[in-house]
Amino acid sequence: MSILVFIEHAEGEIKKSSLEAVSYAAAMGEDVTAIAIGPVDESILKAAGKAGASKVLHAADEKLEKGLIQPYAKVIAQAMEKEGAKTLVLAKSSLGDPVAARIAAKLKAGFVSNVADLPDTSSGFSVKRSIYTGKAFANVEMTTETKIIGIKKNAVELKEDGGDASVEAFEPTLEDADFAVKITSQDKQTGEILLPEAEIVVSGGRGMKGPENWGMIEDLAKTLGAATGCSKPVSDIGWRPHHEHVGQTGVKVSPQLYVAIGISGAIQHLAGVNSSKYILVINKDEEAPFFSAADYGIVGDAFEVVPKLTEALKAAQN
């Protein structure tokens, strides 16, 4: 019996968070089949094998391109039936969560999201999930026959030591009623690296004093191969676009490294970044609350520290 993994793709590539979900499923010790939905090149899908999938089902119908929840849920449910899969693994995302919830209702499955570790099967089937915006964990016992697990980004190690997966065309049964909801427009975040997928994020706050000073944030981010973010007050006053707002009411991020420059560290901002593996804070106020949450801190003027840090990184790269 296999585990099915729903893999998302964007800009012609499988999302890293979905590959992490494949590695998670492979670590559970079962055969892993992935399901990809919508147009994407077959050569890209084969790469899911490196993360641990033996096979990828591809529902390539162009009508499935836009990520509608109802048909996606129906496709995945049919794929689970075809493969005899009683466990579905997927990355926690703005698409994955509602799709998983609909599948759970359809299949009477248990669904746990934001999972941060492999299941404990020593006495039943228990998963550990992150709660309270990363401040605590809860161990949840899953007792249903069919289980759906939503993986928190960067919670598990991505393995890339496998071979290519085979790709098999999958033609689900769909009806016009499945497409009753239509997406009339989409506004997507632009930029070389998008916040939700970024491994490194460099953010600035009001300590930057004005939008004209953001060049050094962008320079550091470019040097690190990072995405740029900002605090809520910065986006509210129009220094930076709202899609860069990181925090409880903005984008929640889980990068390997979060660099906070000139940000005091209000609780609302911390709630959006405390799942980061490492946090570096640069602030001239040694009493800034952010230092209490930081793994590394530099007390100093950002206008002196950041250019020197960027220069040192560029020199190291050369």
Binding residue ranges: 206, 262-269, 283
Query: Which residues are paired to 128 by β-bridges?
Result: 139
Which residues have a Cβ under 8 Å from the Cβ of 56 and sit 6 or more positions away? 7, 33, 34, 35, 36, 45, 46, 48, 49, 165, 166, 167, 168
For residue 206, count CB atoms less than 10 angstroms from its CB and return exposed for 0-12, middle for 13-18, buried for 19 or more.
middle
Binding-site residues for FAD sit at: 206, 262-269, 283
How far is Cα 123 from Cα 132, in angstroms, rounded to an integer? 26
Which residues have a Cβ under 8 Å from the Cβ of 315 and sit 6 or more positions away? none
DSSP β-ladder status, 9-10 and 13-14 = antiparallel
Cβ–Cβ under 8 Å, residues 152 and 137: no
Q: What are phi and psi of 275, to 5 degrees?
A: -90, 0
Sign (positive or negative) of CA dihedral 209, 210, 216, 218 = positive
How far is Cα 135 from Cα 230, in angstroms, rounded to an integer? 22
How far is Cα 117 from Cα 300, in angstroms, rounded to an integer? 37
Q: What are phi and psi of 251, to 5 degrees?
A: -85, 130
DSSP β-ladder status, 296-299 and 278-283 = parallel
Tokens for 110, please give them.
Answer: 């248990």
